[in-house]
Amino acid sequence: MTDAARQRPRVGWIGTGRMGFQLAARLLDAGYDVAVQNRTRAKAEPLADRGAEVVDVPADLADRDVVFTTVSASPDLQAVTTGPNGVLTSSAAAPGVLVDSSTVSTRMSALVRDEAAQRGTEFLAAPLSGNPKVIAAGGLTIAVSGPREVFTRVEPLLSALGRGVTHVGEGEAARLVKLAHNVFLGVVTQSLAEITVLAEKGGVSRAAFLEFLNDSVMGSAFTRYKSPALVHLDFTPTFTMPLLRKDLDLGLSAARELEVPMPLAAATAQLVAAAIGAGHAEEDFAAVIVEQARSSGLTLEPQDVPVDDGL
């Protein structure tokens, strides 16, 4: 083992779903010593072929230098940290740093931060922007909040996960940043669906309209990335409707606490809820275009043309 490898932190990873699996794999490919745990062990076991140690419960990772958590919701974060066999419950050891990359409430994040401090564990909130394909392309971005000194210490590890890591402040600041990001994601997607349906009902193909939009000043990495789904009507999930609804609800809750009116976000939350009720719960959130078309008296058909996603 080289001196550089010896100086690298030993990493634990809790949660190897679509995102966690790809991120743990990036660290393994970068030469880090990584142990992984997932509620359904079978989802973590393929990482063993890439050099990971697979453990049974989060507490088995308590002796690691840095432990990441990537879980679905606030109750899951509590379960893997302070619940039975949680990573902060071992009597023998506690992680040096706990980095949570889930999208959870600021309240739950603060609770886990306090519990970590009682065990002598530093805590960073580090929610992610991206999906498995973006991760594979090296385009993941991360907002991080917590003590600047701790951030500086683990920044090389975070930088191995993607292209952009930003320290946005102390405490739970990163949670608010991620919620604002995902509220914008929902509003932009609904708006994109509306204008695309408007163009199609007026006789313009979705592929042509989106090609024009993406090449204009209004195009973005996101509109280009979502264009294949909108043209081909392929709603294989990268981020499901219920997850988007959860983040919209959390964002609106934060807005109420801070007394910030968000009429567009509130309307989008209602439209996403309607899409879930119409049967799109297991599909990608881009499926809002189907309900937008239906309410416009239009039935969409897939268009069999090549579309560049920009990645």
Note the pLDDT tens digit of each residue in 27-41: 999 999 999 999 999
The enclosing H or E element of 159 equals helix 148-159
Identity at 121, one-letter amino acid code:
T
Instruction: Identify any residues that bridge with 11 across adjacent strands, giving them in sequence order.
Output: 34, 66
Alpha-carbon Rg for the chain, nearest whole angstrom, is: 21
End-to-end CA distance of the chain: 35
> How many structural domains does the chain have?
2
Q: Is residue 8 part of a domain?
A: yes
Q: H helices then E strands: how many in the chain?
A: 13, 9
pLDDT over 70 at 4, yes or no = no
Q: Are 90 and 119 in contact (CB under 8 A)?
A: no
For residue 44, the enclosing domain spans: 3-171
CATH code at 33?
3.40.50.720
Sequence-ordered alpha helix ranges (H) in 8-120: 18-29, 41-44, 74-82, 106-118
Averaged pLDDT, 185-202: 98
Residues 262 and 163 in one domain: no
Q: What's the pLDDT score for residue 137?
A: 83
Averaged pLDDT, 204-217: 96
From CA 76, how far away is CA 148, in angstroms rounded?
27
Note the pLDDT tens digit of each residue in 222-243: 999 999 999 999 999 988 999 8
From CA 144, how far away is CA 284, in angstroms rounded?
26
Q: What's the pLDDT score for residue 7?
A: 77
Residues 150 and 264 in one domain: no
Q: What's the pLDDT score for residue 311?
A: 76
Identity at 268, one-letter amino acid code:
T
The structure tokens listed for 297 are 């008296």
Which residues, 6+ apart, have CB-to-CB distance to 136 below 8 Å?
22
Query: Could you tell me the maximum CA-CA distance found in the chain, to the nearest angstrom?
Result: 67
The structure tokens listed for 49 are 């072929």
Verdict on whether the full-model pTM lies above 0.75: yes
Residues 10 and 146 in one domain: yes
- Cα angle vertex 143, ends 55, 40, to 5°? 25
How far from 149 is each of 145, 190, 219, CA to CA, in Å?
11, 40, 38
Question: What is the sign, positive or negative, of the torsion defined by CA atoms of 173, 174, 179, 182?
Answer: positive
From CA 278, how far away is CA 104, in angstroms rounded?
26
CATH code at 248?
1.10.1040.10
Q: Is residue 70 part of a domain?
A: yes
Q: What's the pLDDT score for residue 190?
A: 98
Q: Is residue 310 part of a domain?
A: no
